[in-house]
C-alpha cells in the first residue's frame, strides 16, 4: 500500500497510509473504534475505492480490479453466514463462484471443515450452531477458496471471553499451517499482541507505529502508542542529564532514573512505566524510590492491583503477582515504589494520547 487515503465526502477517514505486508505474514491493524482500520481493510478488499494512492497484491496493482476478482477472502464481525444453507453448502458457496465443483469441491470442503474442527457438522443449519461454530463456518468459507490474502474484520468480537481466547489460538494455528497472508482488524490489544507477526497501531486514520508485538509494546514510539498498548502510568516530569545518566524529576519532588525508550529526551516530558514493572516495598525497607499511600487494592486472582497516592496528578497503578505480595500491604499503608531504569519510558512533553 502506497499513500492510501480514503475519503467520504469532505471527511478523510484514512490518511496517506504506507504499509508493506510480507507473504505468509499475520499482520494486524490495531486501533480504537472509528480510527479507520476497517475502512482501510475494505479498501484492500475492493469494497471502497481509495481517494489517492495504490494497492498491490502479490506485486500486481489491483486498484481497478473489482472485489470479487482480487483473490481475497473476507471474514466479517457479524458472522455473515447464510441462514438458509447448511454448513456444507455455506462453505461450498465460495467455491461455486470460482467454478470449483464436483469431487474437487467436495474434497476441498471436507479438508477445510476438518481444519476448523467442524467435521461431522456438515448437515447442520446455522440455527443449530453456537456463535463460535458459526464463526468457524465463516472462516472455513473464506479459506476454502485458498485466497492469496485473508482479510478479517474483528471476527471474534461477538464471542464470550473464554471462547474468544480458544478460537484465537485455533485461528493462529490454522493461519500458520496454511501460510495464508492475513490482515486482521481489532481494537483488542491482547488479541493483537498474541496473534500478530507484526502490527500497525492506527489513530485518526494515520499509522502511528509498525513493528513486532514485542517492539511496539516494549519500545513504543509515541505516548499515544504507549497508552494504547497495554496498561501504563504516564506522568509529567522534567528530564535532565545528571552524572552521565538521565534523571526525571516528578512534580512531587521525587526522581526517577531511566535508560529505557526515549531516554535521550530532555526538558518537559511524559514519563511512563507499566504497572507490572513497579516493585512495592515497605518504606522502612526502601533506601530510595517514590513514596506514597495505598488507596485501593483489587484482588484479580493471579495478581493484585494497587492504586498508590504519591501526591501527583493521578494515582500510580501497581500490579503484584498474588503469591509475591509483601506482608502488611493494606489500605493506608505507606509504601515505596521502585522501577528499574530500563523500564522507564520518556516521551516529549507535547506528545498526545490516542483518542479512545
131 — pLDDT class (breaks 50, 70, 90): confident
CB 137 within 8 A of CB 94: no
Report whether pLDDT(355) > 60. Answer: no
Report CA dihedral (270, 276, 277, 282) to the nearest 10 degrees. Answer: 110
pLDDT band at 354 (very low <50, low <70, confident <90, very high): low
Out of 35-39, 47-51, 160-164, 298-302, pick the least confident: 160-164
| Separation of alpha carbons 80 and 142, rounded Å | 11
| Strand duo 290-299 + 245-250: pairing | unpaired
| Beta strand 26-30 pairing with 181-186 | parallel
d(CA 306, CA 316): 8
Express each pLDDT in 182-211 by its tens digit: 999 999 999 999 999 999 999 999 999 999
Q: Provide the pLDDT for residue 16.
A: 96
Q: What is the dihedral of CA 227, 232, 235, 240, to 10 degrees?
A: -90
Residue 351: predicted pLDDT: 83
Q: What confidence tens digit (pLDDT) does each residue in 203-232 have?
A: 999 999 999 999 999 999 999 999 999 899
Does residue 349 contact residue 249 with C-beta atoms inside 8 Å? no
Residue 273: exposure state from Cβ atoms within 10 A (0-12, 13-18, ≥19): buried
Amino acid at each position: 500500500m502506497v499513500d492510501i487515503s480514503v475519503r467520504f465526502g469532505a471527511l478523510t477517514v484514512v490518511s496517506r497510509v504506507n504499509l508493506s505486508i510480507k507473504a505468509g505474514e499475520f499482520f494486524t491493524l490495531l486501533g480504537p473504534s472509528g480510527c479507520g482500520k476497517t475502512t482501510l481493510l475494505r479498501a484492500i478488499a475492493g469494497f471502497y475505492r481509495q481517494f489517492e494512492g495504490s494497492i498491490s497484491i502479490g506485486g500486481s496493482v489491483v486498484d481497478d480490479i473489482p472485489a470479487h476478482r482480487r483473490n481475497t477472502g473476507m471474514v466479517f464481525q457479524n458472522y455473515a453466514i447464510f441462514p438458509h444453507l447448511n454448513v456444507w453448502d455455506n462453505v461450498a458457496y465460495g467455491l461455486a463462484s470460482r467454478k470449483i465443483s464436483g469431487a474437487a469441491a467436495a474434497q476441498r470442503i471436507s479438508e477445510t471443515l476438518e481444519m476448523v474442527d467442524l467435521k461431522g457438522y456438515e448437515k447442520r443449519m446455522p440455527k443449530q450452531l453456537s456463535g463460535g461454530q458459526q464463526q468457524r463456518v465463516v472462516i472455513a468459507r473464506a479459506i476454502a477458496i485458498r485466497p492469496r490474502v485473508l482479510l478479517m474484520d474483528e471476527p471474534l468480537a461477538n464471542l464470550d471471553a473464554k471462547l474468544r481466547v480458544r478460537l484465537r489460538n485455533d485461528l493462529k494455528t490454522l493461519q500458520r499451517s496454511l501460510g495464508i497472508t492475513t490482515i486482521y482488524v481489532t481494537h483488542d490489544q491482547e488479541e493483537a499482541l498474541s496473534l500478530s507477526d507484526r502490527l500497525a497501531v492506527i489513530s485518526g486514520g494515520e499509522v502511528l507505529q509498525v513493528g513486532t508485538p514485542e517492539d511496539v509494546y516494549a519500545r513504543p514510539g509515541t505516548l499515544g502508542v504507549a497508552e494504547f498498548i497495554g496498561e501504563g502510568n504516564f506522568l509529567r516530569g522534567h528530564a535532565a542529564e545528571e552524572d552521565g545518566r538521565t534523571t526525571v524529576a516528578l512534580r512531587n519532588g521525587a526522581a526517577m532514573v531511566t535508560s529505557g525508550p526515549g531516554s535521550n529526551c530532555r526538558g518537559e516530558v511524559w514519563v511512563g512505566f507499566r504497572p507490572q514493572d513497579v516493585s512495592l516495598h515497605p518504606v522502612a525497607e526502601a533506601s530510595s524510590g517514590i513514596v506514597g499511600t495505598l488507596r485501593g487494592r483489587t484482588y484479580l486472582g493471579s495478581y493484585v492491583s494497587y492504586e498508590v497516592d504519591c501526591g501527583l496528578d493521578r494515582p500510580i497503578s501497581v500490579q503484584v503477582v498474588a503469591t509475591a505480595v509483601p506482608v502488611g500491604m493494606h489500605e493506608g499503608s505507606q509504601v515505596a515504589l521502585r522501577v528499574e531504569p530500563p523500564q522507564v519510558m520518556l516521551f516529549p512533553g507535547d506528545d498526545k494520547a490516542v483518542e479512545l
